[in-house]
Structure 1
Amino acid sequence: MICRNVKLICLLACLMLLFTGCTQEKKAAPEQGKQAEMKKVTVMLDWFPNTNHTGLYVAKDKGYFKERGLAVEIIQPGEGSTTDQLVAAGKADFGVSYQESVTQARSTGIPLVSLAAVIQHNTSAFASLKEAQISSPQDFVGKRYGGWGSPMEEAVLKAVMEKAGVASDKVQNVTLGATDFFNSIGRDADFEWIYYGWDGIEAKRRGMELNLIMLKELDPALDYYTPLIVTNEKHISEQQDLVREFMTATAKGYQWSIENPDQAAEILLKNAPELNPELVKDSQAWLSQRYQEDAPRWGEQKEEVWARYANWMFERGLIEQNINAQEAFTNEFLPQ
């Protein structure tokens, strides 16, 4: 009798284990299905990770992309191809670019479209050491400008110098490439073009006194959007849901960075530990106030800003064919 009971108990136990295993398998199935449904997305940066990109890392780290069903990989550009080329060709779904680059691309038929302005106003400046005594474009005369060697730089220098009433051929252009500003300024060049939110903040942190001439103060056309979040026309026409979900999460990431600059800096540092922690924290504190600034929402773009800068480029021969400003950007995918 006891043996019979033991056999019965063992049989019931086996049935319970079998039932439990089936139940767990059924419970796991939806989660596995959910993982399978995650859409793989690639975002290519314009340069090494910095505070221009914090909102992207926040959106990934805090699960905002995952909430929208996206498995996002953030990558840096490699050698040989630019971010614009790869995004336009669909090799990367989204990228970080600049208004001047998108304008040039669209002028030649490359189908890039801007989805959001990362920073609402141009924060770049001509920077020089205090002792160089360069405080206006008139002071560029007889000085060395160190830059990347692009026609855009020469056009800007010529425009702002002629507007100031001095000849642009009186400045010496020195091609430095992607050199470190702090190694070259005052040695290889007298003034250079920097982003204040990074090199300007670092100079202040080092106690280095700079004279700064903000580009947006020299000409209204130079207050353009830089950087931008971009994609290609095919994504906009054929994958609107993907673009909308990505931008909803991205906007949430930048909004959180605006409201929580200290924590946002920590998230960027976690993803890019090679960066200087003090620089990142100071830069983030400064830039978080300027992501949205006077716009009704983060990322908002205006047609007049696009048209004004495109006209400026066209008038100076930087693009052979002017662009339709309305087609170069969209606010459609920004959350309300």
Structure 2
Amino acid sequence: MKKALLFLLTAVVLTACANSEGAATETEKVKLVLDWTPNTNHTGLYVAQAEDYFKDQGLDVEIMLPGEAGADQLVASGQADFGISAQETLTEARIQDIPVVSIGAIIQHNTSGFASPVEKDITSPADFEGKTYGGWGAPVEKAVLDSLMKKEDADVEKVEIVNMGNSDFFTAVERDIDFAWIYYGWTGVEAELRGQELNMQYLTDYSENLDYYTPVLTTNEAMIKENPDTVEAFMAAATKGYQFAIDKPEEAADILIDAVPDLDPELVRASQKWLSPKYKDDAERWGQQELDVWNNYAEWMLENNLLEQELDAEEAFTNEFLPE
């Protein structure tokens, strides 16, 4: 009798352990689509993957490249659960009833601006006159150029605007353009490593309305409504990943290098050192977004005829999934 009871108890314990182990290893598969090729804007996500922060939240995250469709379209259609976008493109998407929502600011302030080699002698927006700008063909580019140039009584119509597509900035400025719109944290840092001095006109130096969130993490309205626990788990892991990158930029850079071996290790390390303090910057917590920032930029877009109607900014973003 005792032996039978002991056998029964042992079986129960083993079954419970097996069930417990199975529950612990069961994860939900989700897809995350990047906005571009991997870079230091994405470090926190690769950290969250490498350090098992996603796994600890019960998530199995596949990191995807956007392809021709683009991140916003993939997220909106549900082909990806999460994505990386920017406030300017998401604002346009919301006006077109595309159900993408920003759930966290990756970088707290806009680090982009117009860059040119010093020998081009472009030291202010007024110097854009008579020069050739290389862009990607979006209407917002001319509007931003015009906005900055008007402050110095300069005429955007005197700028030759060409589409340089995916051409490398350094090749393009040697070949047929004078200046381009870059993110300093990557291309600017690369210029430093190359020993090429740049003149920069940062957007935030000329307009408070252009200090928008770029990039941001996104999901779609259906995920928020139907799977809020998944969104919360994803943001808990992402927050931990970016906090790691803030606190340990060198280790975070090594994680990104290991995950994406094609990247230039020297550039990744230098970029990470420059960018890590800017993830959170002066915000109370990483990822925080403010309504004024969304309203200010939407107002600027409306004034520059880039929007057909006013944005309902409160529907475009949320802080509810950020850890307290």
The match for 1:166 is 154
CA shift, 1:263, in A, is 0.3
The match for 1:295 is 283
The match for 2:108 is 120
Give every structure 1 segment of 4 or more consecutive aligned residues whose post-TM-superposition deviation is greater than 4 Å: 19-26
The match for 2:121 is 133
CA shift, 1:197, in A, is 0.2
- Do 1:129 and 1:186's aligned partners in 2 also have CA atoms closer than 8 Å? no
Give me the whole-angstrom Cα distance separating, in 1, the residues matched to 2:67 and 2:193: 30
Alignment of 1:266-305 (within 5 A): 266-305=254-293
CA shift, 1:146, in A, is 0.5
* In the alignment, structure 1 residue 91 sits paired with structure 2 residue 65: no
- Do 1:127 and 1:210's aligned partners in 2 also have CA atoms closer than 8 Å? yes
CA shift, 1:26, in A, is 5.7
* In the alignment, structure 1 residue 34 sits paired with structure 2 residue 20: no
CA shift, 1:22, in A, is 9.2
SS of 1:46 mapped into structure 2: coil
Give me the whole-angstrom Cα distance separating, in 1, the residues matched to 2:281 and 2:107: 8
Alignment of 1:115-264 (within 5 A): 115-264=103-252
Give me the whole-angstrom Cα distance separating, in 1, the residues matched to 2:174 and 2:203: 20
SS of 2:40 mapped into structure 1: coil
The correspondence for 2:299, drawn from 302, 307, 311, is: 311
Which amino acid in structure 1 is aligned with residue 48 of structure 2?
A
SS of 1:96 mapped into structure 2: strand
SS of 2:130 mapped into structure 1: coil
CA shift, 1:90, in A, is 1.1
The correspondence for 2:47, drawn from 55, 58, 61, is: 58
Query: Any gaps of 5 or more consecutive residues in structure 2?
Result: none
SS of 2:114 mapped into structure 1: strand
CA shift, 1:238, in A, is 1.6
Give me the whole-angstrom Cα distance separating, in 1, the residues matched to 2:12 and 2:171: 66
Give me the whole-angstrom Cα distance separating, in 2, the residues matched to 1:234 and 1:163: 43
The correspondence for 1:74, drawn from 58, 63, 71, is: 63
TM-score by length of 1: 0.91
- Do 1:112 and 1:328's aligned partners in 2 also have CA atoms closer than 8 Å? yes
The match for 1:325 is 313
The match for 1:5 is none
Which amino acid in structure 1 is aligned with residue 57 of structure 2?
R
SS of 1:114 mapped into structure 2: strand
- Please list the CA deviations of residues 123-181 of structure 1 after superposition, one character each: whole Å capped at 9, or x if unmatched: 00100010110010100010000010111101111111122211110000011011111
The match for 1:48 is 37
- Do 1:44 and 1:77's aligned partners in 2 also have CA atoms closer than 8 Å? yes
TM-score by length of 2: 0.95
CA shift, 1:326, in A, is 1.2
- Please list the CA deviations of residues 34-57 of structure 1 after superposition, one character each: whole Å capped at 9, or x if unmatched: 333x11111000011100000001
Give me the whole-angstrom Cα distance separating, in 2, the residues matched to 1:78 and 1:331: 28
Report which of the two structures shows the higher radius of gyration computed on alpha carbons.
1
- Do 1:87 and 1:112's aligned partners in 2 also have CA atoms closer than 8 Å? yes
Give me the whole-angstrom Cα distance separating, in 1, the residues matched to 2:88 and 2:185: 19
SS of 1:185 mapped into structure 2: helix
Query: Any gaps of 5 or more consecutive residues in structure 1?
Result: 1-11
RMSD: 1.9
CA shift, 1:233, in A, is 1.1
Give me the whole-angstrom Cα distance separating, in 2, the residues matched to 1:60 and 1:302: 28
Matched residue count: 320
